[in-house]
Every structure is written in structure tokens, then in C-alpha cells.
Structure 1
Amino acid sequence: MARVTRPQGIAIAAVAAAILVPLWLLQPSGGSPAPDRFEQEPFAAPPAPPPLRAAFARPLFAAPVLDGAPPADAPQLIGIIGRLGRDAVALVRGSDGTRTLAPGDSVDGWQLRSLAIDAAYFTRGGQSARVAVPGSDDQR
């Protein structure tokens, strides 16, 4: 009878462990089986998605929200000069004549909050007003 060398014995033990350990792990446990919660309560079906015709019926771009005409005593915007976000100023006509306003400046109690490409936004107390540049598409 041939004698098994030590390296051969280690190899045989490794092969046996590779076969027997997975089989041992797949065996059911000897204790009582844990209750399966998922079999007791079925999953709810996901809600149906809305029909696509609703998506196709919506306009792709919403019309601009116009708050109406600015108050009568709001400064009259003549134009915007400069680069927005850097050195832009508004050319406005107030009660004391025409002047330029940077954001934060005031005229006739109205403070210039910000400038857009086609309008200036003013505030006074709790009031706010959007004054469009003359000749822009927003004026109707």
C-alpha cells in the first residue's frame, strides 16, 4: 500500500472540505423554521403610472408669470446698461429726473433689488414690482 505524503494529505483534506462545507451549510437547521413573513403578506402592486397623454397635453415651456402692471409710482425703467452679474446698472426715470441705479440703490422709496436681461426688480416695504424694459415682449 502506498503511503500518502503530508502535502498529498493536505490537498485531499482541502478538496474534501471544499465539497463537504457547502453541503453542510445548505442543510436545513435542526430547530424550528423561522416564519416566512413574505408568504404571509403579499407585496402590494405598484401604482399605475399616469397615462402619457397627460404628459403630451402639457405645454413644453410655461408662459411667463406676469404679476400685472407695476404700481403707478414705481420708477420707470429706460434701459439696462452693462454686464449682468458684474457692472450692470439700470437707467431709471424717477420724480427727480433720470439717473442710474446699481442693485441696492434707491429712488423715490423704491430699492433696486436685482436686474434681469429684460426687467428690473424693485421693492418698497412689503411691495415688490417687476418693471420691464420698454419694448420688451413682456409688455402687453
Structure 2
Amino acid sequence: MPHTPELLAIVTDAPIDEAAIRDAVEAPECGALVMFHGIVRDHDGGRGVTALDYRSHPEAERLLAECVAAEVARTGLRLAAAHRVGALRIGDAALVAAASAAHRAEAFAAIEQLVERIKREVPIWKRQHFEAGESEWVGL
């Protein structure tokens, strides 16, 4: 698990420790701390979703760490992220990311860029299970 005071990046099959993500970015010089919680919702494309399965490439955690490190280098801010894999239920956190900065605008912009980069570059795939019994992989 890569970790410095400014960097925490984890792929885990356990519930995400949201406090650890927050703690990784908190600092006395930071007046803004923004967290993103990607939560499993109960619908997609007009169909009822009952659960999700997330699967990852063996290099996913390393690539997640590279995304976080690249955004830390680009912004100079304190950033952290964790992505869950395995079977998730409605309401579970699938992705939690945090950014802290001196001011809120920087933190909001950084968290948006970090989450978009993670979604683009980290090989984690989800399979949605629907109410009617069918399932499908998303983003393959």
C-alpha cells in the first residue's frame, strides 16, 4: 500500500476506511477538505440494480497509486483514494477519494480531476446485477 503524508492509494476487498482517507490528507495549513464517495446506487439506465461486483487487474493498486501521485505532482495538494473490489451492495462505497488545500476551489477541482483520472486509467471493472435477474459488465 503506497503511503506518504500526501499519498494514500488502496484497492481493497474490505469496506473502505473513510477516516483513513480523510486523515491522509488533513493538515493544519489546509482550510478545505473535499471528499468524494462513489456509492452503489439502485438503478442504471432505467433498470433496477440489486448489486455490483468489481474486479481488478493485478496492477490496479499500483496504477491507482500512480494516478494519485501524478495528481499530487500536478497540483501540489494532499490527495488520497481507495477503490473497493468484490461483491458490493446498494449503499456501499465503491470509491472514496479526498483532497485538501488551502482553499475550497483548489480542493474541489483536484478531487474532480483525480476521480476522472482514476475512472479512465485504473483497470477496475464492474458487473451490474439487475432486478430481472440478468447482469452485464460495464466499461469493458
- TM-score under structure 1 normalisation? 0.23
| Structure having the larger proportion of residues in helix | 2
Q: Using CA pairs below 8 Å that are at least 6 residues apart, which structure has the higher relative contact order?
A: 2
- TM-score under structure 2 normalisation? 0.23
When Rg is computed on C-alpha atoms for both structures, the one with the higher figure is 1
